[in-house]
């Protein structure tokens, strides 16, 4: 895929691709991002597939401003002060996710928190505005490679699954955003150092804890535990036992079963995973039997997530 110059026509093509659930590469002031509609679980699954990540790491959703952010997260006054000081810009806020946010659960990797950033780059802002949805966008590199600061880096790294690569030259900052979590009760934790210095964050938020540091206070809002079903999970189950509900893949299961993908399409399966687990859990079944999922492509991340859900109760 060849990068294209940014103009009204290429921007509209990119926005249309996003609205259709496809992926584009967009410049931001930090690094280039691989962007898709954050509210569309299939688009989010395509991002993980294109990046070749072995796990569903949570993604940053890009919005225009604090107003939009408040639709998706419960922002403590400290989080609001940080946004007012550093947005638009290289700050990503991780905060408790609102139950009525339409950002796909897959974009948050099943966490009860959501990561939000209002970028400053005019092209990113134009694309968010034209697409009309929050854009989930990790750095536009394959997993394990360096973050791309030129459109050509993204083009070399990513395959033909990208609809449009918008080329706006080199990224002014060239370093990823600083990721800061602000819990429901206002505890501020540095999750990833980045383009905004810790001292600048602290000048607004006061002392910032390091993730995992022994002096970090524990608070309910800080526990980043993944959603785990109440039901026990039985993995690699080729059939459902008596009283078990069934999560199928490929061949249909017994009546009441949900099928992650009748076509054995791993992107479709990833898009359905969280919603289907919740649906089966809501039936009150004691055990959810899960069909074997192949370990190729996104299957690796799906199996990783299922293993955590099976163990994490
Ligand atoms: O500058 C940037 O942040 C770029 C541009 C494109 O915006 N994006 C970027 O995304 O670097 P990515 O996916 O490569 O890194 C996102 C970081 C990861 O370290 C991830 O673990 C963290 O943000 N993150 C996202 N959501 C989180 C959450 N709910 N809880 C904890 N960490 C989260
Ligand atoms: Mg990255």
At residue 249, does pLDDT exceed 70?
yes
64-80 confidence digits (pLDDT tens): 999 999 999 999 999 99
Q: Which of 72, 92, 141, 187 to mutate to test the pocket of ligand 1 (most atoms within 8 A of CB)?
A: 92
295-304 confidence digits (pLDDT tens): 999 999 999 8
The predicted pLDDT at position 159 comes to 78
The predicted pLDDT at position 220 comes to 41
At residue 224, does pLDDT exceed 90?
no
Identical topology for domains 4-210 and 232-310: no
Mean pLDDT to the nearest integer, 146-155:
93
- CATH code of the domain occupying 4-210: 3.90.870.10
15-30 confidence digits (pLDDT tens): 999 999 999 999 999 9
Domain boundaries, the chain: 4-210, 232-310
The predicted pLDDT at position 228 comes to 77
Mean pLDDT to the nearest integer, 138-166:
92
* Tokens coding 69: 């952010």
Pocket of ligand 1 contains residue 111 by CB under 6 Å? yes
Mean pLDDT to the nearest integer, 40-47:
97
At residue 312, does pLDDT exceed 90?
no
State the fold for domain 232-310: Rossmann fold (3.40.50)
Q: Which ligand has the minimum distance to the alpha carbon of residue 137? A: 1
Q: Is the peptide bond before 254 cis (omega within 30 degrees of 0)?
A: no
Q: Which residues surround ligand 2, an ion (CB under 5 A)?
A: 139
- Model confidence at 219, pLDDT cuts 50, 70, 90, reads very low
257-302 confidence digits (pLDDT tens): 999 999 999 999 999 998 899 899 999 999 999 999 999 999 999 9
Pocket of ligand 1 contains residue 57 by CB under 6 Å? yes
Higher pLDDT among residues 238 and 144, named by residue: 238
- Model confidence at 146, pLDDT cuts 50, 70, 90, reads confident
Among residues of the chain, what percentage have pLDDT more than 90? 83
Pocket of ligand 1 contains residue 191 by CB under 6 Å? yes
At residue 217, does pLDDT exceed 60?
no
């Amino acid at each position: 895929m060849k990068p294209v110059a940014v103009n009204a026509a290429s921007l509209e093509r990119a926005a249309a691709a996003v609205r259709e659930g496809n992926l584009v590469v967009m410049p931001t002031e930090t690094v280039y991002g691989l962007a898709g509609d954050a509210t569309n679980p299939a688009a989010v699954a395509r991002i993980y597939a294109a990046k070749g990540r072995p796990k569903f790491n949570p993604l940053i959703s890009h919005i225009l401003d604090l107003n939009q952010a408040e639709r998706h997260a419960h922002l403590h006054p400290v989080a609001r002060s940080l946004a007012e000081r550093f947005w638009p810009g290289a700050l990503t806020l991780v905060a408790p996710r609102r139950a009525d946010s339409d950002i796909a659960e897959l974009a948050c990797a099943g966490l009860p928190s959501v990561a939000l950033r209002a970028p400053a780059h005019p092209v990113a802002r134009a694309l968010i505005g034209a697409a009309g949805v929050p854009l989930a966008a990790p750095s536009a590199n394959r997993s394990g490679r360096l973050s791309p600061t030129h459109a050509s880096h993204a083009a070399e790294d990513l395959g033909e699954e990208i609809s449009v690569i918008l080329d706006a030259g080199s990224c002014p900052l060239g370093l990823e955003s600083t990721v800061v979590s602000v819990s429901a009760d206002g505890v501020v934790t540095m999750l990833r150092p980045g383009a905004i210095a810790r001292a600048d964050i602290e000048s607004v938020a006061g002392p910032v804890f390091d993730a995992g540091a022994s002096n970090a206070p524990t608070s309910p809002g800080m526990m980043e535990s993944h959603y785990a079903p109440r039901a026990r999970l039985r993995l690699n189950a080729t059939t459902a036992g008596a009283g078990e509900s069934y999560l199928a893949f490929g061949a249909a299961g017994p009546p009441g079963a949900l099928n992650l993908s009748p076509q054995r399409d791993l992107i479709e399966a990833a898009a359905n995973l969280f919603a289907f687990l919740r649906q089966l859990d809501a039936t009150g079944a004691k055990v959810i039997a899960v069909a074997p999922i192949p370990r190729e492509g996104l299957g690796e991340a799906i199996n990783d997530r299922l293993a955590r859900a099976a163990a994490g109760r």
